[in-house]
Each structure stands twice: as structure tokens, then as C-alpha cells.
Amino acid sequence: MKTVHLLLPALALAGQLAAQDLKAFEKRVTEFSLANGMHFIVLERHDAPVVSFHTYVNAGSVDDPKGNTGLAHMFEHMAFKGTESIGSTNWPAEKAAMAEIERRYDALDAERNKLAKADPAKLKKLEEALGEAVEKADSYVVPNLYPRIIEENGGVGMNASTGEDSTNFFYSFPANRAELWFYLESARFLHPVYREFYKERDVVREERRMRIESDPQGKLMEAMVSTAIAAHPYRVMPGGWASDIENLRVSEAEKFFSRHYAPGNITIAIVGDVAPARMRALAEQYFGRIAKRPLPDPVLTVEPEQDGPKRVEVASPSQPIEFVAYHRPDQHDKDDPAFDVVAGLLAGGRTSLMYTDMVRDKKISLEAGAVATFPGGKYPSLFVFYLIPGAGHTAEDNEKELDTIIAGLQKDKIDDAAMARIRTRTRASLIHQLDNNSGLAQLLAEYYVNYGDWRRLFTSIDEIDRVTADDVQRVARKYFVPTNRTVALTYQPPEPADAPAAGGAQ
């Protein structure tokens, strides 16, 4: 009784705030689409003379063609390589040299494709010839000029990311340099160049080594998704498979760009000290140059229902880690908000079920938590628990405790106080996200693309409000069942007898 009484004013208050924020925001938002389909959302914030830009491409690693995993990520890297005029000392000569690389690569591939019948001597010669062509093309390059222009002009937070569902490019400029952004951003998506492609491919390969191969959690995560998901492209992480990356070609990247970077597949959010009319004029001027292209098809593969528990173990000298994953529907399913609430109840903060039980009271975990939607939301995906056992505890005893918690969620209804707490937190966390240009730009674009309306950023909390304790129980009973489950955990292999003793000195 007491707790509920305390909570009511906070709830009512937060409700008002969200409604006010939406109204206040609507006044400051201008939205428009170009004839080619590219969509813009402009939010005025005049507090400081700065502006943040976010380009949201509705294509990610799920769109990687078969055998070309890692391609969406590869293209993201190429987008920093400049344009015909930016980054080249002699574009016609460079273009010809790049074409020569492709011809020599084709010849090399033709020989390689003979597999066992390939002639090693011929291969070696072709590889050398390819290397020479690469060096020739590189001689025309002004390295990293494109990002350097951004940095020299005071651009900050410049980066890009490739996920399963989307590819994102973002940075902020002093407000007087807004037109430079239009210049640079439109140029790279008007005529991308595939400069230094094969060296950048090595960098992309290194990124995979760093994030996946040399990181125990990364390795385990890869094993988890590729075990839990059988058919859908979500089963491959955006980093791709090593051998696929090593064989990526410019022609594949060109095709990928032309299909997935259609202007209608790109949304741009601009937040800061700008005049919307001017932004619109600049958008027409710079991005209006890009011809309309048809939108790519969505992924049609539907993940089949899992019909039994799965378990995968990954050798690792690290202390134990375990992931437990259950299939869940996509972000448009009516149960989507309930999954967010379940994750909040289980793992949101110090009052959550997993923290209080596993970390605080039983002291068997260093960390224990849950992620509602992984690895993406556009298509059916996974609800994932992660368990980091404390010293002297095993993945197995953590898993057992998690099972008890899940069983409790299925058996007993969550009390009103905990449900109210989740709602209050959701509203407050929205308010906390509203004072940062670059974060706002990302959110506006993300909600527009995923739900068709940026207002959803504000109205989605009403859906959280509508989730009941019954929904929580129903979702836990329906989805957290053994046949729908995949467990991935590390194990310590016995020390190999020939382990190098004094490695570096060898």
C-alpha cells in the first residue's frame, strides 16, 4: 500500500511531462521528403551554435548477400574514403588504375576458382601482379582526406556503425558549417568510390579479430546467435565470417550500394541551431541530385520454430560466461512492449529481480542481466539473459538460479509497485535523452524508420503503461520455455601439453 501511494504523484507527473514534451517538440520539428524519396527530420535547438547530423540507412548486415557476409560493414568503411574529387590527386588516372586492379583480381579469382587444380606458380604471379596494381592506384590517393576535412572544420563525434538492421553515419559541426555537411554527405552517397578497397578490407578483417576473435564475450555471442538462429540472416553478426570478408570484391559493394542506398531507404535527422527552410533548400540542392531508385526487398526468410533446447559450448581460458536466449517476435508484435517491461523487471537497476537475487542476496553473480531484443528488432529475434558468475561460482549454478527466477515470473504475478516503477523509469529515461543533439538526431531517425513516425519516441511509453502484470506473466509463460531456448557458455579446456612457456622469447 505504502509504496503505491508514494508512486502515484510521480507517475502522473511524468505523464504530463511526456505529453508536454511531444507538443513542444512538434512545434520545433520540420519534416519533408525529397522527390527521390529521401526523408528529412529537422529539429530546431538554438541553445548553442552547433548542429548534429544523423544518416540512417535502412540496411544492415541482414542484407549481406550469401557468401558476402560483412559486406554492409565493408561499405560503411568505404563511405569514408572520399569522392572522385576528394581524396585523389588525379581522378581519371586513379579510376583507370582501380579498373586495372579489378581486371587482375578477376584473373586471380579465375585461377583460384579451379581450387585443387589451381597452379601455385601462376597464383603467385597473379597475386604479385594484383599487388602492383594496388600500389599503382594508391599512388594517386590523398589518404583520409574526407574525414580530415570534417575534423579540420571542427567536426566532432564523427563515426559510423553497422548493425543487423541499419547502417548509421553521424557527426556534429559548428552551425555555420552546415552546408559543408550537405556537400560531403551527398557526395559520398551520390558517387561512392571504392578507393583502397582491398587494404580497407584488411582493416575490416582486423575489426573482426578485435571484436569477436580476441574477445571471449564476442566469441560466445557469435556462437549463441549462430546456434539459436538457424535460417534468418540474424544468425551472422555484422562483422561477417572471416573467409567471406577476405574474399569481398568491389563489384559486390557496388551492387550492395546501388540496391540498399536507394535514396528512399535513407532518412536524415538534423538537430541544432539551424533554420528549417534553409535545410530544406540545401537538401533539395545537394541530395536532390540523387536519382530515385526502387526500394530493396525486405528479408523474406522466416526463422522456423525451434523444436527443442539447444546448447553450445565455446572453449575459453576466461572465467565462465553464459548466455541464455529465447526466440521472440519482432518489434511490431503486440508483445513487444511486454518484453521491454520483462527486461526492466529482471534487469533494470538495483531493484531488479536478477540483481537483487543473484548479485546482492545470493552473491553468485558478478553481473546478471537481460536484453529484450537481440540482435535486431526488424525481424523476429531473441530475448537474451547474460550471466557472469562470481568467483567460486559456475555457469551451471547461475543458470539454475535464473531458471528459478523465470519459474517465479511464470508462477506469481508481479506486484503493482514493481510495475509502477518500470513505468516511471521509462518516462524519466526519455526525458534524460532529450538534452543532447546527436542522441536526439539518432532517436528521431530510428523511430521514424522503424515505426513510420518519430512521435513514436514519445508515444511508445504509453504502450509500456498499458502492459499489465498479466501480460508479463503470459509472455514469460509463452516464450520462456525449454523448446524455445538456447544456452551458450564457455568452458575451460585442459591446458595443452605443448603450451608455449615463454612465448615472446621464441
Question: Of residues 13-52, which lie at the interface with other proteins (CB under 8 A)?
Answer: 13-14, 17, 35-36, 47-50
Binds other proteins (CB under 8 A): choice among 121, 300, 497, 505: 505
Give, in order, the Cα–Cα distances in Å from 85 to each of 2, 47, 111, 159, 171: 68, 35, 35, 22, 21
**Alpha carbon distance 52, 273 (integer Å):** 9
Q: How far is the CB of 292 from other proteins (least distance, A)?
A: 5
Binds other proteins (CB under 8 A): choice among 69, 186, 373, 484: 186
Residue closest to 296 by CA, chosen among 253, 262, 251, 332: 262
Binds other proteins (CB under 8 A): choice among 149, 371, 469, 481: 149
Closest CB to other proteins among residues 168, 365: 365
Q: Is 129 exposed, middle or buried (0-12, 13-18, 19+ CB in 10 A)?
A: middle
Are 298 and 164 in contact by the 8 Å Cβ rule? The answer is no
Residue 360 interacting with other proteins (CB under 8 A)? yes
Residue 366 interacting with other proteins (CB under 8 A)? yes
Position 193: which residue type? V
Closest CB to other proteins among residues 199, 311: 199
Residues 367-386 that bind other proteins (CB under 8 A): none
Closest CB to other proteins among residues 382, 402: 402
**Alpha carbon distance 475, 459 (integer Å):** 22
**Alpha carbon distance 357, 351 (integer Å):** 9
Binds other proteins (CB under 8 A): choice among 18, 44, 53, 147: 147
CA angle, 107 as apex, 72 and 82 as ends, to 5°? 40
Residue 136 interacting with other proteins (CB under 8 A)? no
Q: How far is the CB of 294 from other proteins (least distance, A)?
A: 5
Other C-beta atoms closer than 10 Å to the C-beta of 291 total 10
Binds other proteins (CB under 8 A): choice among 88, 162, 166, 316: 316
Residues 284-313 that bind other proteins (CB under 8 A): 284-286, 288-289, 291-294
Residue 435 interacting with other proteins (CB under 8 A)? yes
Binds other proteins (CB under 8 A): choice among 196, 244, 340, 465: 196
Residues 458-487 that bind other proteins (CB under 8 A): none
3-state secondary structure of 51: strand
Stretch of residues binding other proteins (CB under 8 A), selected from 10-18, 98-106, 302-310, 325-333: 10-18
Q: How far is the CB of 399 from other proteins (least distance, A)?
A: 17
Residue 335 interacting with other proteins (CB under 8 A)? no
Residue 226 interacting with other proteins (CB under 8 A)? no
Which residues make Cβ contacts (< 8 Å) with residue 82, sequence separation at least 6? 88, 142, 145, 146, 188, 193, 195
Query: 254: number of CA atoms within 13 Å, CB side?
Result: 8
- The span from the first CA to the last CA of the chain, in angstroms, equals 69
Q: How far is the CB of 482 from other proteins (least distance, A)?
A: 29
Residues 95-124 that bind other proteins (CB under 8 A): none
Binds other proteins (CB under 8 A): choice among 85, 243, 404, 483: 85
Q: Total residues contacting other proteins (rule CB under 8 A)?
A: 113
Residue 487: beta bridge partners? 311, 324
Are 108 and 283 in contact by the 8 Å Cβ rule? The answer is no
